[in-house]
Amino acid sequence: MDGSPGSLTSLRSRNRLLVLDAVRRHGRISRVGIARATGLSRTTVSGLVAGLLAEGVLTESAETSVPPAARGGRPATPLTLNPEGGGLLGVHLRHTDIRVLLADLSGGVLGERHHRVDVDHRPDEALDFIAGTALDLVATAGRDAGRIFGMGVAVSAPVQSRSHTLSLPSMLSGWTDADFATRLGERIGLPVHVGNDADLGALAEWTFGAGRGVDDLIYIMVSDGVGAGLILDGRPYQGSTGAAGELGHIAVVDGGYVCRCGNRGCLETAVGAQALTAAFSRTRGPDTTIADLVALLAADDPGARRVVTDAGHLIGRALAGICAMLEPRMVIIGGEVAAVGRPLLDGVRDVLTHRLPPALSQGITVSGGHLGDRAEVLGAIVLATHRTSAHLLAPRFERTTRDSGPSGQAPQIM
């Protein structure tokens, strides 16, 4: 089968991806709805849906949506992604810990593991944990390894938009091998695709969370580092090299602390998790955590409220110029620090209200993320879905011809 760009096979695969994306974005949608959402003809949609139903990737919902009485005709049968149709693996590599998740095609979580490790300086241990945990999650969930289509990895570092490798020098200081996706893929026997964690957090909140239905948004991930992911005009935006959204490395404090990027006074040195908890080290001890800070806020502690509100003000200062240029409809605050809640959001809102013209500030909603600390790893799942579309979307007979070995067996996770 000719899969070259411009061939009928390539066009069919792209159209199948459009259909699956429409179903994923809407959750439940009719064939007519897919045609409207994708611009494909009803005949094309019907043929593609029939193939996806036969392969078990889509399923018809038991509920029906009744058309307006004026139209008459048969009720439309909604389509949904079939949770049993396959699975995908997602990984979030932060500086201090790793999260590995197995999900079905609809984004439902089948299994999850979390491990604290110095990711920056112990890459081999990190890769060993990811590979071993991926195998264990698939086995524990009782899933057919041949129906696990790929792995997405969210990393706390810029990723080259063309090669999908870490930009060098990397913020993950011990990862001198930029193509670690190849090393990891060899261990698990699956395609591995890498993206920046803030970019993928934005993708997840746009697909599953607070940003559903909003086609211009900025997602701010505030954890041990600070990053931003952009959705502009309904498309993820990473910039010319993939480094767009490095909000944490905008200088906001004159004469501030030296950042790991080499500059001084960067936003993440003032509002990251370590900076916020360090503010209480003298009064609460050096082991203060974000959970402790949340508890202090719940008790209406004035010091905690001041620290978090000030952090919101600094984030708002870094955002104001970006919002003036891009005019997003929504700013979503996610990441570990977002658990502190309203004082942080209020601080961001206050600065945007005072630094932007009313015509701009009144049109921007500032919201907490809906996906919590799973946003980035769920974004990695979405990335894996898109990047492994050749496996997921090619008709079954094409996959068998292209991917099977001499014995005719489907490839297994190794």
Give the C-alpha separation, 135 to 157, whole Å. Answer: 26
197-207 vs 375-387: helix axis angle to the nearest 10?
A: 90
Write down the pLDDT at residue 311.
95
Judged against a pLDDT cut of 80, whether residue 227 lies above it is answered with yes
Nearest to 152 by CA among 99, 213, 195: 195
Q: Where are the beta strands (DSSP E) in 304-391?
A: 330-334, 365-368
361-400 confidence digits (pLDDT tens): 999 999 999 999 999 999 999 998 887 654 454 444 344 3
Judged against a pLDDT cut of 90, whether residue 331 lies above it is answered with yes
252-299 confidence digits (pLDDT tens): 998 889 988 889 999 999 999 999 999 888 788 888 899 999 999 999
**Structure token digits, residue 153:** 């990895």
Give the C-alpha separation, 167 to 161, whole Å. Answer: 9
Residue 242 or residue 152, greater confidence: 152
Cα angle 88, 92, 93 (rounded to 5 degrees) comes to 135
Write down the pLDDT at residue 171.
59
Give Cα 11 distance to the centre of its chain.
Answer: 26
116-128 confidence digits (pLDDT tens): 988 878 888 889 9
Write down the pLDDT at residue 165.
66
Judged against a pLDDT cut of 50, whether residue 410 lies above it is answered with no
Judged against a pLDDT cut of 50, whether residue 250 lies above it is answered with yes
Tokens 């990053």 belong to 227
Give the C-alpha separation, 97 to 204, whole Å. Answer: 20
Write down the pLDDT at residue 401.
34
Mean pLDDT computed over every residue of the chain:
84
Domains along the chain with CATH numbers:
8-81 (1.10.10.10), 85-200+375-392 (3.30.420.40), 210-370 (3.30.420.40)
137-189 confidence digits (pLDDT tens): 999 998 888 888 899 999 988 787 666 666 555 556 667 655 778 888 888 98
Residue 82 or residue 69, greater confidence: 82
Nearest to 371 by CA among 381, 360, 379: 379
Residue 341 or residue 70, greater confidence: 341
78-126 confidence digits (pLDDT tens): 998 888 878 999 999 988 899 999 998 878 899 999 999 888 788 888 8
How distant, in Å, are the alpha carbons of 27, 45, 49, 73 from that of 66? Answer: 17, 20, 20, 9
Write down the pLDDT at residue 178.
53
